[in-house]
Structure 1
């Protein structure tokens, strides 16, 4: 029986080659999109889930109540982990670590080799909390010694030949003007690519406390800090009860902390749900996961609608087949299974083509998404692909199966079968739904593109063009004054300065220390800078002056931005004392964070030794020559250390990597939606022209013009597209407005975005329908009528 059904399905495919081809192309394209998005979503959802303590591993967070609302931080005081371990029996392990990207790259020197590497400090429980397996060394003892360093297998091999050879060997690390000799106490295996943090080595946090002079302070709870605190709860411990228990810990330690509340959140949730507003998690990368999943699903729905429309529109060709099979005893259930099998087989054939398309497109897709996805023959991936194809086939074939199997044999053989109004409206409704989604995608592409262009062109309050930055080490870090003075003398160097930390994307772990004036407290971001930093970046002074070597007391002065002045309500800011520092100047507001956020209060502190990161303004048109001079000068000043620089505008653009990916993917998705929808229109127009072939012949014999024939065949489908546009425009307005609301600074929504999208969709529909209509109108009426 099944073999007979397969034979009938094959004959049906051969008999309706055009319909079969259109369905195959539409379904394979939609499935290719869905499969690529599935690989991306699956990878995103797997981040940080590989740790053996998953389910009991948490990050300690903090909510701070301010007059502007609740500010959520993932940074804590450095001694919090020790206090929690000592006071909370629910905790099995607790450890503090420096946050990701807290330091610029270190320089590691061992066995005469020098390499740049990403490092962090962590407490001794780090390798028990996280699953970074040690292939050499003991996870309990690896970070006990203050002079210990744990290397990645890759760097241990680079420096010492093999991981085993590295154990017990000495090496020196350098960072700015700091350096220390350490002994390799362990080697950890390669960190998986689905880890949210990548690093090359780990140092003991006890050594960091010594460097920063962090003794065991009685008032430790009063301190703020950017440090990450991680805990693993005991088996069976209730996380909600533990949250209630630690919420008031800082408040119990000190009355000064009445506005601070601790809580924990799963470590693996931070990657996807890392955005908080007013103390509540509001998403993060999970929004893109939902967005792309929804888009892929909708594109599959559009492809399935093509199948539904073409299958039901061509019902007249299968009437006799259905009538004969019913007369011979086939039940409606049998026919439903037959038609569903037909659609599922089509979907599986489309799946084979889709897998080939994904394999071809995967390198480009990886480049867009910043991933390293592969089509590995994993059972889970194969099962997911088959499930997606099966569901697509069932969805595409569901309506046609129940529609076609419902015909009555007597009506079929009498030729009295008529399409019901409901059937016609269903097909029209599906076409409208297709193009509604297509118009929505086009509007999204236009608005996202304009917003990204706005972000790139907006004046930031500083000049990022022709500015490079690099991290110092060796002699340049130990003698920053001499280094910067000689650097400025190089031909092509307009200006240069240094800072501690980095300029772009300040405050990733929440605002820094609070300042107080007349009872008002404001959390600030602040930066230690060298002379000429504001001049190098072109930051303008609104009141007062910049830091100057003419005034020796400037190391006790600060420069604030307009946002801090407004927040504190300062009428005459220059000369006002904030704590022990006096304001010497007010800088105009500048966007040190992304345009997603409003400009927050900011303080510049003068630190003449600040040169951890050096910024150099290059003369326009001389960038290449100047960088070559700078490279030679740097290697002369720091023997054996290569210059590793980046452009400031590239760092700024990196803040919008996600938005650019959304923009590019949206463009592809919109194109796919339009192509698949147009395929459906093409199929419907072709079938309509074929069905009305004799009518067209009669009309032409009676004198109808080609224009009137084209109008006859096009008008009904064009009306459906216009209805789709009318429905899509208000829906698209709501969608893009919601997306734009994530930006504090955004473009206005102009009417041409929506009218342009509607016109583009209508133009594509006219071209698609018109080409087939013109072809039918130009047919010889003799050929149309010769069968009569």
Structure 2
């Protein structure tokens, strides 16, 4: 019986080749998209979930009340970790940790600049990273200790064995000793680094880490099993207030499970509103929709070709075939086609995966483990049943007496259902098209927006070695300026890409006592503002021509407006208790992404507190200029590796998630339209075949080819127009929500929706037109012949 059914299925596929290939291509494309998105979503959901004590591992964060709402910060005070261990019995271990930074490590003549961080002594007790060598209880107890990854050990020593106690030089100055070796971070770890230093070493010369007013470190804790996290949060909520004798009332502490930081990292006014999880949900929905579009094709084409299978159904029923048997046969066809589509989809994914990894920035692979195999089989079975259930029920329900006469009564409901499915397909396609257009234009907008400073051809690199001394720094910058191709050069505390160094220590006349608004603090050297092309609204920048400017300050327009100062030039404010005279007001510029509004900023002159050297290069000869800078750098700073970045690349990196969404949306929209058009193509072919005699009669009576084309494409045109009318308001609501995440955004004009509708309509016309023209050109004699 099974062999007989398989033979029938094979003959059916062979008989209806066009339907078979349309369904195969549509289903395989839909399954390939689903499989790619499944791999990506699975990887996203696995980030940081590999840690042994995931349920007990938390990060302490802060809500900070400002005049315009609540800002949530991942950084906390230096003394917090030790205080939690000593005063909170719920805490098993805690550690202060710095953000990863690139630092030069040296062994003999080998100098490497690699990513590392400093951490408290309990770091490896909190994080269960695998130690190849060393004891996690004491690897960071000595301030001169360094724990390195096995990958870094190979690069420095060419081995991972017998390295405990081996010396490594830090920045060609401090000598550290290897106390442990850990397995390189897995790919699904959000934190990637190659070494860990003692936090006690990092604290040397940084007295601010001992105060509660400073917030510059990350604090991680391991809670004891069974701890009530909500009760613990209430207990530590006002700890900063207590430790500062009630001076700091705007900072409240709370905990967040470490593994949730990656997907749930976005806060608005102190409330968790999402993060990367938004895109995980978005692409999961897209995968479902694309698969649904492919299933709709199968349903429509199967029911549309019913007229060509009515005799088969009638004969089988006449000789005693039960309806259940027919349902199993047609579901078998659907399931077999689904499994064939799955095999083709796996081949497509295998070919597309390298390019998909480039787009997503991941290292996904088709590893056929039990989970993936079961998932693929499950999706394939679901697709086969979903796509084949309606055709199976529809075909098996024919009356044998009626169908053997060659007649089939098509119910009005069935016609409307088929048309409704086409409308649904194209509505989704139009939503995809509008989304692609709007996302593309928004990304283009943020990339071309005037930021208030010139980011183009600005190269920067960190101060290292001799440059940490102020006089050699000035001499070094002067040497950089003398290099052909360098237009200007100076130094600054941090880049212009995001919040880095804020303070609420600015006091002005009329400031409210409870105001704790943070001002972004840019520490600069002479000529830094000129190098960045920051324009002044009034006043001047820092200049040696006016003597010492260390007691002077420059604000941006947003700061002056916030403070309510009229005629600010010459007025004084207090910064951390010291009087500072305002000498200039800079025009507003975007030091954060366009997700954020421009915030209050001030500049102060303190060359010794700058950490990056920035140089403006002349356009057209960047490669030659960089080569000269590198030669000069290595001559002045031997033993250090010259690593640089461009400011415009750093700016673009802020929108990497949006850029990936834009590119992926473009691909998925194209595939959704392709699948929809395949179905439309098949339906148009069957419609033309079913109306072949009508076409012949019309041609005999004098109808033109254009009239025939218009007749056949009219119904499809109405369906696509209805889809456009449904899709436009839906896409408007969705895109309005997406754009709300940007403080500066494009306007959703009607042209995006009109353009998407026209594109969908033209695509449908071309698809249907091919079949309509073919039918219109058929010889009417052939049309009117009996079988």
TM-score using structure 1 length: 0.96
1:4–1:240 distance in 2 versus 1, CA, 3 Å:
farther
TM-superposed CA distance for 1:512, in Å, is 3.7
Separation of aligned partners in 1, 2:539 and 2:684: 73
Separation of aligned partners in 2, 1:385 and 1:558: 63
TM-superposed CA distance for 1:117, in Å, is 1.0
Q: Deviations over 1:334-353 (max 9, x none)?
A: 33333222212111100111
- The residue correspondences of 1:328-339 to structure 2 (distance < 5 A) are 328-339=319-330
Q: Find the residue that maps to 1:617 and give its secondary structure.
A: strand
Q: Which residue of 2 aligns with 1:242?
A: 232
Q: Which residue of 1 aligns with 2:216?
A: 226
Q: Find the residue that maps to 2:487 and give its secondary structure.
A: strand
Q: Which residue of 1 aligns with 2:671?
A: 672
Moved more, 573-582 or 24-33: 573-582
198, 212, 233: which one aligns with 1:204? 198
Separation of aligned partners in 2, 1:466 and 1:503: 14
Q: Which residue of 1 aligns with 2:309?
A: 318
Q: Deviations over 1:665-690 (max 9, x none)?
A: 11111111111110011000111111
Q: Deviations over 1:477-517 (max 9, x none)?
A: 4321110011111111110011223332233xx84444233
- The residue correspondences of 1:423-442 to structure 2 (distance < 5 A) are 423-442=414-433
* Residues 1:149 and 2:146 are matched in the alignment: yes
TM-superposed CA distance for 1:280, in Å, is 0.7
**Are the aligned partners of 1:476 and 1:637 in contact in 2 as well (CA < 8 Å)?**
no
Q: Which residue of 2 aligns with 1:562?
A: 557
Q: Find the residue that maps to 1:553 and give its secondary structure.
A: coil
TM-superposed CA distance for 1:783, in Å, is 2.1
Q: Find the residue that maps to 2:52 and give its secondary structure.
A: coil
TM-superposed CA distance for 1:7, in Å, is 2.2
1:329–1:265 distance in 2 versus 1, CA, 3 Å:
farther
Q: Which residue of 1 aligns with 2:690?
A: 691
Q: Deviations over 1:46-93 (max 9, x none)?
A: 100000011111111111222211111111101111111111111111
- The residue correspondences of 1:483-498 to structure 2 (distance < 5 A) are 483-498=476-491
Separation of aligned partners in 2, 1:710 and 1:270: 58
**Are the aligned partners of 2:458 and 2:617 in contact in 1 as well (CA < 8 Å)?**
yes
TM-superposed CA distance for 1:163, in Å, is 2.0
1:416–1:112 distance in 2 versus 1, CA, 3 Å:
closer
* Residues 1:541 and 2:536 are matched in the alignment: yes
**Are the aligned partners of 1:497 and 1:531 in contact in 2 as well (CA < 8 Å)?**
yes
103, 110, 115: which one aligns with 2:107? 110
**Are the aligned partners of 2:104 and 2:641 in contact in 1 as well (CA < 8 Å)?**
no
Q: Which residue of 1 aligns with 2:717?
A: 718
Separation of aligned partners in 2, 1:699 and 1:454: 54
**Are the aligned partners of 2:61 and 2:253 in contact in 1 as well (CA < 8 Å)?**
yes
Q: Find the residue that maps to 1:36 and give its secondary structure.
A: helix
Q: Deviations over 1:704-723 (max 9, x none)?
A: 21111111111111110111
Separation of aligned partners in 2, 1:581 and 1:482: 30
Separation of aligned partners in 1, 2:163 and 2:70: 47
* Residues 1:169 and 2:166 are matched in the alignment: yes
Q: Find the residue that maps to 1:743 and give its secondary structure.
A: coil
Separation of aligned partners in 2, 1:60 and 1:766: 58
Separation of aligned partners in 1, 2:178 and 2:275: 38
* Residues 1:17 and 2:10 are matched in the alignment: no
**Are the aligned partners of 1:558 and 1:605 in contact in 2 as well (CA < 8 Å)?**
yes
1:668–1:586 distance in 2 versus 1, CA, 3 Å:
same
1:384–1:511 distance in 2 versus 1, CA, 3 Å:
farther
* Residues 1:519 and 2:516 are matched in the alignment: no
Separation of aligned partners in 2, 1:106 and 1:390: 53
**Are the aligned partners of 1:498 and 1:610 in contact in 2 as well (CA < 8 Å)?**
no
Q: Which residue of 1 aligns with 2:704?
A: 705
* Residues 1:763 and 2:747 are matched in the alignment: no
- The residue correspondences of 1:763-782 to structure 2 (distance < 5 A) are 763-782=762-781
Q: Deviations over 1:539-575 (max 9, x none)?
A: 0121221111234432222221111111221223332
Q: Which residue of 1 aligns with 2:783?
A: 784
Q: Which residue of 2 aligns with 1:136?
A: 133
Q: Deviations over 1:249-303 (max 9, x none)?
A: 2333331233322111110110011010011111111111111111111111111
Separation of aligned partners in 1, 2:451 and 2:546: 29
TM-superposed CA distance for 1:622, in Å, is 2.6
Separation of aligned partners in 1, 2:119 and 2:72: 23
Separation of aligned partners in 2, 1:398 and 1:573: 75
* Residues 1:347 and 2:338 are matched in the alignment: yes
Q: Find the residue that maps to 2:436 and give its secondary structure.
A: helix
Separation of aligned partners in 1, 2:703 and 2:119: 84
Q: Find the residue that maps to 2:154 and give its secondary structure.
A: helix
Q: Which residue of 1 aligns with 2:434?
A: 443
Q: Which residue of 1 aligns with 2:31?
A: 31
Separation of aligned partners in 1, 2:354 and 2:276: 22
TM-superposed CA distance for 1:784, in Å, is 2.1
Q: Deviations over 1:567-598 (max 9, x none)?
A: 22122333221331412221111111111111
Q: Which residue of 1 aligns with 2:390?
A: 399
Q: Find the residue that maps to 1:119 and give its secondary structure.
A: strand
Q: Deviations over 1:589-631 (max 9, x none)?
A: 1111111111111122211224521111112223222222112
**Are the aligned partners of 1:108 and 1:116 in contact in 2 as well (CA < 8 Å)?**
yes
TM-superposed CA distance for 1:189, in Å, is 0.7
Separation of aligned partners in 2, 1:387 and 1:461: 54
Q: Which residue of 2 aligns with 1:577?
A: 573
Moved more, 22-31 or 149-158: 149-158
Q: Which residue of 1 aligns with 2:493?
A: 500
**Are the aligned partners of 1:682 and 1:772 in contact in 2 as well (CA < 8 Å)?**
yes
**Are the aligned partners of 2:310 and 2:406 in contact in 1 as well (CA < 8 Å)?**
no
**Are the aligned partners of 1:111 and 1:159 in contact in 2 as well (CA < 8 Å)?**
no
TM-superposed CA distance for 1:414, in Å, is 4.5
* Residues 1:291 and 2:285 are matched in the alignment: no
TM-superposed CA distance for 1:314, in Å, is 1.1
TM-score using structure 2 length: 0.96
Separation of aligned partners in 1, 2:282 and 2:594: 21
- The residue correspondences of 1:59-74 to structure 2 (distance < 5 A) are 59-74=59-74
**Are the aligned partners of 1:493 and 1:616 in contact in 2 as well (CA < 8 Å)?**
yes
Q: Find the residue that maps to 1:272 and give its secondary structure.
A: coil
Q: Which residue of 1 aligns with 2:80?
A: 80
Q: Which residue of 2 aligns with 1:263?
A: 254
Question: What RMSD in Å do the two structures reach over aligned CA positions?
Answer: 1.7
Aligned pairs, how many?
A: 776
- The residue correspondences of 1:748-759 to structure 2 (distance < 5 A) are 748-759=747-758
**Are the aligned partners of 2:511 and 2:563 in contact in 1 as well (CA < 8 Å)?**
no
Q: Which residue of 2 aligns with 1:529?
A: 524
1:214–1:251 distance in 2 versus 1, CA, 3 Å:
closer
Q: Find the residue that maps to 1:55 and give its secondary structure.
A: helix
TM-superposed CA distance for 1:191, in Å, is 0.4
Moved more, 250-259 or 379-388: 250-259
**Are the aligned partners of 2:311 and 2:406 in contact in 1 as well (CA < 8 Å)?**
no
**Are the aligned partners of 2:498 and 2:593 in contact in 1 as well (CA < 8 Å)?**
yes
Separation of aligned partners in 2, 1:599 and 1:347: 53
Runs of 5+ consecutive residues of structure 1 not aligned to the other structure: none
Q: Which residue of 2 aligns with 1:97?
A: 97
Separation of aligned partners in 2, 1:746 and 1:768: 36
Separation of aligned partners in 2, 1:212 and 1:188: 28
